[in-house]
Amino acid sequence: MNDETLTFYYYNDGLTREERQAVANRLATDPGTAARYQVICRQLDQLGAASITAAPSDMVERWHESINRAVRSESAMPRKPVLHTWSFIWGAAVTAALAIGIGIGVYISGGNVSEAVLPDVIVAANPNSSAFVRGLRVHLRESEQGLSETPFDATADRTLLLMRIIEQNRLFEKVAQRNDSPALARVLRSFELVLVRLAADDITPEEAEELQAKLLFELNVILTKLDRESSDESGII
Amino acid sequence: MKGAELPTQAQFHQAISSRSDRWYSACLRITRSPELAEDAVQEALLSAWAKRHQFNHTARLETWIHRIAINAALQMLRKNRPGLFEPLDIDVPDDGGGPEAAQHNRDIEDTFSAALDVLSEIERVCFVLKHLEQWRLKEISEEFDINVGAVKQAVFRAVRKLRVQLDGMQGEQS
């Protein structure tokens, strides 16, 4: 009986009922196999007692802050009504209209982003610093991923997602502007225009799809640039 | 946590304070990159928050986020290393993932993590999911769209190599 069989007997996985029974019989009758199995068990138990790598405290702070940001984003839009199954389609339409009409209208046209929501690490960062570049990369990557994964018919989810992206985008734009990186600020502003259009209530699915494809392409381009130039201290765009 | 109530902001903060080291460790073992591990946890938290109405109260919030974080880490690994989970027919040595990965690995001061360095990526990830995360072989095979036999092979190769490492470490200590 080989070690592989004994290993998966330990895991209680990957063996048929008959194979497991055969191992049990062998362990009961063959002291040599039983001793070998004991060694395997002891070593695998030791491997299971692996230590935990503590996350740096600034990282943990960022996670806390990300939840706070998500809560703030949510509170900026009207609460989605509870829907009954029979009224799902009408309800979704009403929710979408309310979310887009009230939520985006109030939120986006509000203009200024509160200083209070700027994460310290971003505020302190110079656009050429690795912290800023890294944060920007995460923002762009998450935007790209979120937009790709949220279906066009999930109207309320898309609205919430777009609001979050716009909020984040403004933070980075603001810091870029503040730190004399007008080129980067301009690029981010151009993203916002597209994002706002994507969130508009009069956009057709075809236009949304086309616009999103363009946006995803641009996000990819800038992400590629960031990846390539992240070690270049002369600039990121 | 009661009945069908949604997990609260405070509960998320509590989960981060009490369990984020475990989430981070698990993601770090999968990605071998502190940055990707951080991103995976961050993504898991935001995703869990956005989908908290889907939270099944039979599980703990921390456990639910842990699972989402693992999935996020796997997704990032796949995105960064396309072709990683194609089945291997032969036992090949790992190239260490290049200078960047080597630098990250030097940053990880964890004896167990160091022992994982002897594994190829597919071996490491399959081992971590099987042994540390207690996934079923079938779950792993479905996750990576490879057959159970290939997963089993990768897990066993990992175990075999780690046992040799363990013997070596114990030999040095005695």
Burial class (CB in 10 A: 0-12, 13-18, 19+), B32: buried
Closest by CA position to A137, among listed A223, A51, A205, A62: A223
pLDDT tens per residue across span A106-118: 344 444 443 333 4
Which residues lie below 8 Å from residue B145, measured CB to CB, with a gap of 6+?
B85
DSSP string, B57-94: TTS-HHHHHHHHHHHHHHHHHHHHSTTTTS--SS----
Report CA A210 to chain centroid distance, whole Å: 23
Query: What pLDDT is recorded for position A230?
Result: 55
Which residues lie below 8 Å from residue B44, measured CB to CB, with a gap of 6+?
B23, B65, B68, B69, B71, B72
pLDDT category of residue B171 using cuts at 50, 70 and 90: low
Q: Please check the confidence at residue B20 and state whether its pLDDT lies above 90.
A: yes
CA distance A155 to A160: 9
Mean pLDDT throughout A202-216?
79
CA distance B123 to A221: 33
**Residue bearing the bigger pLDDT, A221 or B83:** A221
* Neighbour count for residue B73 (Cβ, 10 Å): 28
Q: Please check the confidence at residue B71 and state whether its pLDDT lies above 90.
A: yes
Q: Please check the confidence at residue A34 and state whether its pLDDT lies above 70.
A: yes
User: Which residues in chain A are contacts of B21 at CB distance < 8 A?
Assistant: 52-55
**Residue bearing the bigger pLDDT, B2 or A200:** A200
- CB contact (8 A) between residue A66 and residue B45: yes
Secondary structure class of A172 (helix, strand, coil) = helix
**Residue bearing the bigger pLDDT, B127 or A182:** B127
Secondary structure class of A182 (helix, strand, coil) = helix
**Measured between CB atoms, does A232 come within 8 Å of chain B?**
no
Query: What region, left, alpha or beta, does residue A12 occupy, with left being phi > 0 and alpha being psi -120 to 50 degrees?
Result: left
ipTM entry: 0.78
User: Which residues in chain A are contacts of B49 at CB distance < 8 A?
Assistant: 67, 70-71
pTM strictly above 0.80 = no
- CB contact (8 A) between residue A54 and residue B28: no
User: Which residues in chain B are contacts of A14 at CB distance < 8 A?
Assistant: 137, 148, 152
pLDDT tens per residue across span B48-61: 998 898 888 788 99
CA distance A92 to A101: 14
Task: Find tokens 């291997």 and name the residue.
Answer: B88
pLDDT tens per residue across span B135-149: 999 999 998 888 999
Mean pLDDT throughout B18-30?
93
Which residues lie below 8 Å from residue A127, measured CB to CB, with a gap of 6+?
A133, A175, A176, A179, A181, A184, A236
**Measured between CB atoms, does B79 come within 8 Å of chain A?**
no
CA distance A152 to B106: 44
The answer to whether B11 and B61 are in contact (CB under 8 A) is yes
Mean pLDDT throughout A183-202?
82
Q: Please check the confidence at residue A227 and state whether its pLDDT lies above 70.
A: no
Query: What pLDDT is recorded for position A5?
Result: 95
- CB contact (8 A) between residue A142 and residue B20: no
Tell me which DSSP letter residue A49 carries: T
Query: What pLDDT is recorded for position A129?
Result: 67
**Residue bearing the bigger pLDDT, A146 or A41:** A41
CA distance B131 to A88: 44
Least confidently predicted of A91-100, B111-120, B129-138, B152-161: A91-100
Which residues lie below 8 Å from residue A172, measured CB to CB, with a gap of 6+?
A122, A132, A135, A136, A139, A184, A188
User: Which residues in chain B are contacts of A53 at CB distance < 8 A?
Assistant: 21, 24-25, 28, 108-110, 113
Query: What pLDDT is recorded for position A160?
Result: 82
- CB contact (8 A) between residue B38 and residue A48: no
- CB contact (8 A) between residue A50 and residue B38: no
Query: What pLDDT is recorded for position B1?
Result: 47
The answer to whether B28 and B22 are in contact (CB under 8 A) is no
Mean pLDDT throughout A81-95?
38
Query: What pLDDT is recorded for position A55?
Result: 92
Residue A64 is nearest to which of B16, B29, B166, comparing CB atoms? B16
pLDDT tens per residue across span A51-66: 688 899 999 999 998 8
The answer to whether A70 and B50 are in contact (CB under 8 A) is yes
